[in-house]
Amino acid sequence: MIAAVPKVFVGTLVCDEAEFDECCQAIALQERVVVTHHIIRNMPEYEAHNMLWAAWNAAKTDHDIFVKIDADTILNRSSALEEICQLFKQPDVTGVQIPLHDFFTDELINGLNAFSPLVTFEPSRLRLYADHADRGHKKVLKGTEVQFLAPIGWHGKYPKPLQAFHYGFHRRLKNQNATLQRLASAWLDHGDREREWAIAGAASARWWMRSGALGYKGFWFKKCYNRCLDDSFRRVLVSTTVARLK
């Protein structure tokens, strides 16, 4: 049962994302809700997610919902969390996925996730999919059911080069080829440096790199990023990659 003034547990994992300060400001400005903002800083992705699940498990009896808001995500209105809470008043709703506007693809993505206390979290068996941990859902609202709230915020509004490289690198490791094709199309439309770095990340990743340490501190990630600091190398790499993705 959602309280008259809902208590919302917001979890954020941060590794120096450019949008983090605005992410926090937008959360602090939320109206008609009481927010507990739990922040985990500069930890490897898999370990950070498991720390967040543990923090939520410890706090869930005192909160109405859990909303995961990544450090590169900025809510675009002060009523956003209240609107999410309203969705949980529907019978059997245990989760929602609400679209954000994604900078990299210049499209809507199902990027904002919220959960009721009935949902349980177990560490993912795959380190590459650390956020795939929620279990025990009854009904998850997404797609057309929540389209009227879209976009509820921005994802990756102005990424740093390392952040953009990470975006592309991990989407290639996850074989998200459709997303990478949309990324390439957006770069062709805008010709910006941020998406160029994201494409360079995608072009640098190889399937066998999954077995190494993941995240910003991973050996192969750092090696590939440092190689792309050479502007001429990066631009040739991006051009040839976009030609294949078209």
Which tens digits make up the pLDDT trace of 30-43?
999 999 999 999 99
Query: Is residue 217, in this structure, part of any structural domain at all?
Result: yes
pLDDT surpasses 80 at 228: yes
Query: Is residue 1, in this structure, part of any structural domain at all?
Result: no
For the question of whether the overall pTM of this predicted structure is more than 0.75, the answer is yes
Q: For 226-246, what is the mean pLDDT?
A: 91
Kindly report, residue by residue over 40-97, the tens digit of the pLDDT.
Answer: 999 988 899 999 999 999 999 999 999 999 999 999 999 999 999 999 999 999 999 9
pLDDT surpasses 80 at 242: yes
Kindly report, residue by residue over 209-221, the tens digit of the pLDDT.
Answer: 876 656 788 888 9
- The domain of 85 spans 7-155
Is residue 35 exposed (0-12), middle (13-18) or buried (19+ Cβ within 10 Å)? Answer: middle
Query: Is residue 2, in this structure, part of any structural domain at all?
Result: no
pLDDT surpasses 70 at 162: yes
| Domain end (from 100, 130, 155) | 155
- C-beta of residue 181 within 8 angstroms of C-beta of residue 218: no
My answer on whether 150 and 169 are in the same domain is: no
| Domain end (from 110, 129, 155) | 155
DSSP state of 6: -
